[in-house]
Amino acid sequence: MPSVLHEAILELFRSRTTLAPELLRDVLGVPVPDYERAVSVESTFTELVPTEYTADLVILLEDDEPVLGIVVEVQLARDPDKLYSWPFYAASLRARHRCPATVLVVTPSAAVAEWAAAVIDLGGPNRYRPWVLGPSLVPLITDEEEALSAPELGVLSALAHGRDQEGAAVAFAAMVGLQRVDDNTRSVYYDLIMASLSEAARKGLEAMVQSRKHEYISDFAKENFARGLQEGRQEGQALALLTLIGHRGWAPTPEQVVLIQSATEEELTAWLLRVVDADRLEQLFL
């Protein structure tokens, strides 16, 4: 089962279909052909034998015809099976749309990024390597206008840099950018931003919001900060716990996800302390 963090990151790329080609071109230096449209297309691939593989998301860049296919894979933990499916995704997408195709792996984990970037041996002289966007490569977005023009990139920046020295400034810019997204998406992005922050960055963000209320025009953020950060802190703790669970390679059941999301701050604190040393997911709730 995909985790909440997995789905939240994927939503960034679903909501802004140009995000994947922009990151490939501007961050990873991949030549991206000119295109008029970036559209999300079918992400299920089937072999001649009835075995089905489903990628996280497929973005197709189109001019008069398809010019580049991008398979976006959100990876929270190492998964040896992906070393077999990623080359298959690229080859299948290339054959389906008769255009070049590539795989973009997005991960908030530096260790997973290093693992995913390794060359995949296909046998004989053939090799494959996906493009990998780890936290160190995500742009540091502290400019509010830049976050307003690309809210999803601002949130991705907060996720990557929320625990760094510039965490509060990155989070503030990302939250300003939330003005440009719909209400349902805004709630998901807000939780993702809050979960990404260190305690120091969280306090810095609170101070920035309080000192710049006259500039901060997001009613959503004003409402959240007006009633204090308690609820946001619990939501952040829940998302942080689910993030760590994903890093351990565990897949929580729907019931466990509900249990985490409805837990008290005391329960979440206890589970966060246990998750590092636990041998299996069930030990968290003992």
pLDDT at position 222 is: 54
pLDDT at position 275 is: 79
Asked if the model's pLDDT at residue 102 lies above 90, the reply is yes
67, 107, 53, 89: CA torsion to nearest 10: 30
Q: Where are the beta strands (DSSP E) in 10-164?
A: 37-41, 44-46, 52-54, 57-62, 66-74, 101-106, 120-123, 126-128, 131-133
How far is 286 from 254, CA to CA, in rounded Å?
18
Q: Identify the H or E element spanning 1.
A: none
Local structure of residue 59 (DSSP, 8 states): E
Domain extents for the chain? 4-137, 144-285
pLDDT at position 216 is: 47
The mean pLDDT of the chain is 84
Mean pLDDT of 175-179: 87
Residue that wins the pLDDT comparison between 89 and 220: 89
8 A C-beta contact, residue 192 and residue 239: yes
120 phi and psi angles, rounded to 5 deg:
-100, 120
Mean pLDDT of 148-166: 92
- Position 223 confidence tier, pLDDT thresholds 50, 70, 90: low
- Position 39 confidence tier, pLDDT thresholds 50, 70, 90: very high
Rounded to two decimals, the pTM is 0.74
Indicate the length of the chain as a whole number.
Answer: 286
8 A C-beta contact, residue 265 and residue 254: no
pLDDT at position 48 is: 44
Residue-wise pLDDT tens digits, 107-127: 988 889 999 999 999 998 999
Token duo for residue 207: 């101070």
Contacts of 197 (CB under 8 A, 6+ apart): 158, 162, 163, 167, 168, 171, 205, 236
Q: What is the 3-state secondary structure (H, E, C) of 87-107?
A: HHHHHHHHHHHCCCEEEEEEC
CATH 1.10.3470 fits 4-137, yes or no: no
